[in-house]
């Protein structure tokens, strides 16, 4: 690998999107450290981005354009580093393309530069659990891994400093980050691969409607972005597909050039003890098991990891038990289907012992299936106000439903409904914007409130 300084020093790079989750902050710091002439632009202003700006204050040569985007920042540049969630129809990205400026994203730029194999995991649901489980299995097998992609607080570009020929990348890739793998042009430098590319081992867990607010209701565009995870593979590569996603990918069969493996929960021997609840998690584990086997890991190593693996924070995470009430944080359930899955996992026998807190911002997803499931599993439902909550219709359903104005009030109401043996479940089913900074902020606020219960 060419020295990082030789790749980035003096290069004029515009980073669009800084954010507060740490990924964009780390990318900006990395580029500044390695001599890039960096312009950071974000529609948020100084006040909103104050924590990020404080972290980057040690790099006085970074130029900022905050509270707006200006066309000239997308001209005469060596690269536009696009943040996840930057709109597909961004006039500024379009302006850069018209001016011949390459576009890339941090995960795909890492893949273009680092001379190591990469396992990439995408899917509507399950990708975080599958990614982290694969990473832990590979580490238990003695492999040196770099965990990145859509991982909170991890800068993909900073991982370049850790990459060596003996390491392997394990990357969770959302649909936005998959966009970067489909880009034809990147930073024009020796040591930076050009053309579209895909991870050496691609994993596609599930496909369901999501992010339709971003994709303007076009589910095919959402699927197309995700297919970049495998559509540029070579014949020597591997594609692991979760059985649920097979039907959605039927029209992309001709793009599957690598060895294809179909996986589901049947990959997991029945005698293996899985700690994370629900059939959906057995399915997730099965996909991770199939991937690990494809990478040559022995079943005994896989079994030891699977039987000790616990839920990730905010993903059907058992927070604590208070006075016989089990309390779960499922803040990353940002779709109605994810909340429905949580209900089935925690109450498969329809005992109606769940007190559910849900609600949030609209993502243009159909919640009718979730609403019809509520009566069979919930004792009561506490709704957080939001544009998504406003779309819910409970007519004809025998439900105890109340709406509140804050998360603290929601927990207070829910706790009042609970008795020993009940489950208090926070599984919003909608996006977090409006009342919270993001789903992580939402989950952390919930945990803080729960910590105060006596």
DSSP 8-state assignment for residue 361? B
Are residues 214 and 162 part of one domain? yes
In degrees, to the nearest 5, what angle opens at C-alpha 411 toward C-alphas 408 and 413?
110
Are residues 278 and 175 part of one domain? yes
Are residues 120 and 231 part of one domain? yes
Residues 64 and 40: their CA atoms lie apart, in Å, by: 5
Domain stops at, among 306, 337, 369: 306
Are residues 37 and 168 part of one domain? no
Q: What are the structure tokens assigned to 232, written together? A: 């540029």
**pLDDT at res. 21:** 81
Are residues 345 and 261 part of one domain? no
Query: Band of the pLDDT at 2, cuts 50, 70, 90?
Result: low
Domain stops at, among 50, 69, 101: 101
Q: Examine the pLDDT at 19 and tell me if it is beyond 90.
A: no
Are residues 353 and 425 part of one domain? yes
Percent of the chain with pLDDT over 90: 94
Q: Examine the pLDDT at 209 and tell me if it is beyond 80.
A: yes
DSSP 8-state assignment for residue 291? H
**pLDDT at res. 364:** 93
Are residues 133 and 48 part of one domain? no
Structurally, the chain folds into a number of domains equal to 3
**pLDDT at res. 149:** 96
Q: What is the CATH number of the domain that holds 222?
A: 3.40.1190.10
Crossing angle of helices 127-140/299-306, nearest 10°? 130
Are residues 249 and 121 part of one domain? yes
pTM given for the model: 0.94
Structural domain of 86 = 4-101
Are residues 236 and 181 part of one domain? yes
Are residues 324 and 367 part of one domain? yes
- By CB atoms closer than 10 A (0-12, 13-18, 19+), residue 42 is buried
Are residues 111 and 83 part of one domain? no
pLDDT in tens, 24-35: 999 999 999 999
Mean pLDDT, the chain, rounded, equals 96
Q: Examine the pLDDT at 190 and tell me if it is beyond 90.
A: no
Q: Which of 336, 274, 303 is nearest to 125 (CA)?
A: 336
What residues contact residue 253 under an 8 Å CB cut-off, 6+ apart?
none
Are residues 357 and 292 part of one domain? no
pLDDT in tens, 261-289: 999 999 999 999 999 999 999 999 999 99
Residues 330 and 210: their CA atoms lie apart, in Å, by: 17
| SS3 (DSSP) at 124 | coil
* Residue 69 parent element (H or E): none
């Amino acid at each position: 690998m060419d020295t990082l300084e030789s790749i980035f020093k003096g290069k004029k790079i515009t980073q669009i999107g800084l954010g507060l989750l740490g990924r964009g902050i780390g990318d900006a710091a990395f580029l500044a450290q390695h001599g890039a002439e960096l312009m950071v632009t974000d529609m948020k202003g100084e006040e909103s981005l104050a924590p990020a700006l404080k972290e980057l204050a040690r790099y006085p040569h970074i130029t900022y354009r905050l509270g707006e985007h200006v066309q000239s920042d997308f001209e005469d540049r060596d690269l536009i580093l696009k943040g996840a969630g930057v709109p597909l129809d961004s006039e500024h990205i379009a302006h850069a393309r018209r001016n011949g400026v390459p576009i890339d994203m941090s995960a795909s730029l890492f893949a273009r530069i680092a001379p190591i194999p990469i396992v990439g995991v995408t899917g509507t649901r399950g990708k975080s659990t599958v990614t982290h489980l694969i990473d832990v299995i590979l580490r238990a097998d003695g492999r040196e891994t770099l965990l990145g992609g859509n991982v909170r607080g991890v800068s993909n570009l900073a991982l370049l400093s850790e990459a060596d020929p003996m390491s392997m990348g394990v990357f969770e890739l959302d649909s936005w980050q998959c966009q970067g793998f489909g880009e034809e042009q990147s930073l024009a430098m020796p040591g930076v691969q050009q053309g579209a590319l895909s991870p050496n081992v691609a994993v596609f867990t599930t496909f369901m409607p999501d992010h339709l607010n971003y994709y303007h209701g076009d589910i095919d565009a959402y699927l197309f972005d995700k297919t970049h995870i495998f559509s540029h593979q070579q014949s020597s590569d591997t594609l692991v597909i979760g059985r649920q996603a097979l039907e959605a990918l039927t029209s992309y069969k001709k793009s599957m050039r690598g060895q294809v493996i179909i996986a589901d929960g049947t990959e997991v021997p029945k005698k293996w003890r899985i700690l994370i609840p629900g059939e959906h998690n057995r399915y997730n584990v099965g996909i991770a098991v199939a991937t690990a086997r494809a990478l040559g890991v022995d079943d005994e190593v896989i079994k030891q990891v699977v039987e000790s693996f616990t839920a990730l924070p905010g993903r059907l995470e058992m927070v604590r038990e208070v006075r016989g009430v089990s309390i779960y944080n499922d803040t990353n359930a940002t779709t109605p289907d994810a909340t429905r899955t949580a209900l089935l996992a925690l109450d498969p026998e329809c005992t109606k012992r769940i007190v559910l807190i849900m609600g949030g911002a609209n993502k243009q997803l159909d919640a009718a299936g979730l609403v019809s499931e509520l009566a069979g599993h919930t004792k009561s439902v506490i709704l957080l106000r939001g544009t998504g909550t406003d779309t819910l219709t409970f007519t004809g359903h025998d439900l105890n439903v109340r709406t509140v104005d804050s998360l603290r009030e929601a927990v207070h109401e829910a706790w009042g409904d609970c008795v020993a043996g009940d489950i208090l479940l926070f599984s919003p089913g909608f996006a977090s914007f409006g009342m919270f900074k993001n789903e992580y902020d939402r989950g952390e606020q919930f945990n803080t409130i729960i910590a105060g219960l006596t």
